[in-house]
Amino acid sequence: MNLSSNRESGLTLITLTLLLGLIAFITLLVLKIAPIYIDHSKVKSALTGVEQMENIETVTREEVWSSLEKRFNMNYVTDVTKDNVRVTRRGGYLKVEIEYEVVKPIVGNLSVLVNFYEIIEVGQE
């Protein structure tokens, strides 16, 4: 009997199934988490827009929220509410803080939680 010293190599069906399952899970995570960060970039863009408003030192809290709300509506941002926005005004100083969290279900009872905190400060106290 002639035994070959070379062993066959390659992926078995079980290894291939596990590898494809891992790739599918990573793809699922990316598809669930990427939109969260895309929306957050829109929130940062809205804050930058508020920071560049004309006469920013004289606008009221309501005008700041109104401007942010218009920008959020235009960009379809639904994760930020008025309760997540704090506007502080003292004289010519304006500080806008946005702190919010997003919870997205992944599979079954597995979810992802992402916390965000953004701040702008304009003017002198």
| 70-80 pLDDT per residue, tens | 999 999 999 99
Within a domain: 87: yes
Q: Which domain holds residue 54?
A: 36-122
**Number of domains present in the structure of the chain:** 1
**Rounded-to-integer distance, Cα 51 and Cα 122, Å:** 7
Cβ contact 120:88 at 8 Å: no
Phi and psi torsions of 78, nearest 5°:
-115, -5
Read off the pTM.
0.79
Within a domain: 7: no
Over residues 3-27, the pLDDT tens digits come to 555 666 777 889 889 999 999 999 9
**Rounded-to-integer distance, Cα 76 and Cα 115, Å:** 19
Query: CB count, 10 Å around CB of 45?
Result: 13
**Residues shown for the chain:** 125
